[in-house]
């Protein structure tokens, strides 16, 4: 009999939670349009607003600051494409931020600048000097620049010093956006205390459905809708709301908030995985192990190996993990995150990511380590041959 498969790729997507699935199943019977004033429409509107309140509690914001979107990529691009005089984003951002930044230059955005990263996976300490210099070079209206720095990186797990960035950026009147997709459900979120203007979230990273996300928008912060043509979301995002998806998102957020209590247990499993993996292969590397990290994320490298080969080997052993961001794993190319932190090419080529979640158990770590031992042994024997 084939052994049960082990899922260690939560940063790519999390399994749909049973609670979210059940809530969505019930919500499919709510067929009214949330914009309609009759009973059926009011019922749909009530379901959407209940979910909005659940997500606000999860994110540490007010319900009126939650704007539903099709996902975090849309939320990111809604912010980036607004028409800032300058957009500065860390070089480790999700591709939806970087692509939006470069694509918007000449179409409303004056200048796009990448903030460099340190080798430990955090934003370069001298980033502010870069921002100031770049801002001075743009000329013209300096009243509306934006800095975008993710709350935590999905490949290395490194948590960024966003609170400190907010403090510095405010001195130069920058608006601040943070992509909190990977941090959500793995560390507490408090939008109000963080001090940012915009924050992006995604349902499927926390056990909700795919195709639903949210942009948290500070009261008074400006927003130019990316999707036009209706008055939904108080005019901030047109289109009839995905009621069932939004309901699933709200319930998943409620569950993720509850499961934060288990993160210390998950972190202990992650640390054990890394400790024993390095003991099995002394040539293995762990990235971003020094700064604050997400408790569920480990970026490991086996020098001389190919990441895609390692991922396939684990898959054959019944273990799902990733060579990096799921948005780029379909193509064989070096991770832009590893490039940003200046990982040598021969090491980057053998880097893969393990990401744990609420269903991870010690027995899953045992299975990983057993498979790892076999993969390392085969790799070393081929290297000798």
Q: Return the structure tokens found at 160.
A: 């960024």
Structural contact between residues 243 and 30, judged by C-beta atoms closer than 8 angstroms:
yes
What SS3 state is found at 125? Answer: coil
Beta-bridge mates of residue 107: none
List the helix and strand counts (H, then E) for the chain. 14, 12
Question: CA-CA distance, 130 to 140, in Å (whole number)?
Answer: 18
Place of tokens 């800095």: 147
Q: Find all residues with CB under 8 Å of 122, minimum gap 6, and list them.
A: 158, 159, 160, 161, 288, 291
Beta-bridge mates of residue 348: none
Question: CA-CA distance, 27 to 343, in Å (whole number)?
Answer: 47
Question: CA-CA distance, 94 to 177, in Å (whole number)?
Answer: 13
| Residue 203: CB atoms within 10 Å | 33
| Whether residue 118 lies in the annotated active site | no
Helix 243-259 and helix 39-59: axis angle, to 10°?
30
| Distances in whole angstroms, Cα of residue 219 to Cα of each of 85, 112, 129, 196, 214 | 21, 26, 29, 11, 15
Helices in the chain by DSSP H: which ranges? 18-27, 39-59, 72-80, 95-104, 127-138, 162-171, 191-194, 232-235, 243-259, 263-280, 307-316, 336-340, 345-348, 362-384
Q: What is the dihedral of CA 267, 269, 275, 278, to 10 degrees?
A: -110
Question: CA-CA distance, 88 to 147, in Å (whole number)?
Answer: 5
| Residue 336: CB atoms within 10 Å | 18
| Distances in whole angstroms, Cα of residue 246 to Cα of each of 39, 184, 203, 207, 256 | 19, 16, 8, 12, 15
Question: CA-CA distance, 108 to 104, in Å (whole number)?
Answer: 6
Q: Which of 61, 118, 255, 327 is catalytic?
A: 327
Query: Which residues are marked as active site?
Result: 327
């Amino acid at each position: 009999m084939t052994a049960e498969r082990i899922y260690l790729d939560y940063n790519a997507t999390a399994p749909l939670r049973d609670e979210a699935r059940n809530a969505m199943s019930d919500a499919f019977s709510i067929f009214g349009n949330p914009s309609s004033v009759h009973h059926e429409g009011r019922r749909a509107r009530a379901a959407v607003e209940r979910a909005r309140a659940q997500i606000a509690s999860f994110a540490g914001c007010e319900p009126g600051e939650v704007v539903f979107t099709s996902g975090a990529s849309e939320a990111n691009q809604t912010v980036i494409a607004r028409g800032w005089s300058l957009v500065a984003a860390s070089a480790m951002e999700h591709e939806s931020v970087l692509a939006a930044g470069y694509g918007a230059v000449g179409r409303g955005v004056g200048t796009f600048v990448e903030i460099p990263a340190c080798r430990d996976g955090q934003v370069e300490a001298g980033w502010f000097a870069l921002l100031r210099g770049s801002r001075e070079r743009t000329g013209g209206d300096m009243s509306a620049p934006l800095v975008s720095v993710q709350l935590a990186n999905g490949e290395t797990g490194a948590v960024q010093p966003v609170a400190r960035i907010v403090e510095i950026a405010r001195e130069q009147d920058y608006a601040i956006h943070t992509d909190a997709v990977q941090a959500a459900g793995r560390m507490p979120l408090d939008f109000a205390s963080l001090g940012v203007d915009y924050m992006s979230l995604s349902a499927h990273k926390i056990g909700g459905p795919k195709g639903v996300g949210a942009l948290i928008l500070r009261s008074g912060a400006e927003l130019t809708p990316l999707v036009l043509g209706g008055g939904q979301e108080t005019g901030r995002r047109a289109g009839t709301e995905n009621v069932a998806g939004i309901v699933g998102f709200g319930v998943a957020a409620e569950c993720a908030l509850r499961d934060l209590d288990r993160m210390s247990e998950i972190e202990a499993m992650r640390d054990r995985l890394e400790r024993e993996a390095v003991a099995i292969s002394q040539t293995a590397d762990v990235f971003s192990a020094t700064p604050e990290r997400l408790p569920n994320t480990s970026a490991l490298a086996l020098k001389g190996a190919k990441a895609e080969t390692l991922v396939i080997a684990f898959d054959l052993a019944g273990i799902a993990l990733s060579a990096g961001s799921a948005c780029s794993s379909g193509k064989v190319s070096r991770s832009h995150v590893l490039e940003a932190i200046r990982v040598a090419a021969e090491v980057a080529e053998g880097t893969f990511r393990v990401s744990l979640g609420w269903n991870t158990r010690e027995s899953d770590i045992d299975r990983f380590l057993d498979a790892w031992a076999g993969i390392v042994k085969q790799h070393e024997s081929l290297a000798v041959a």
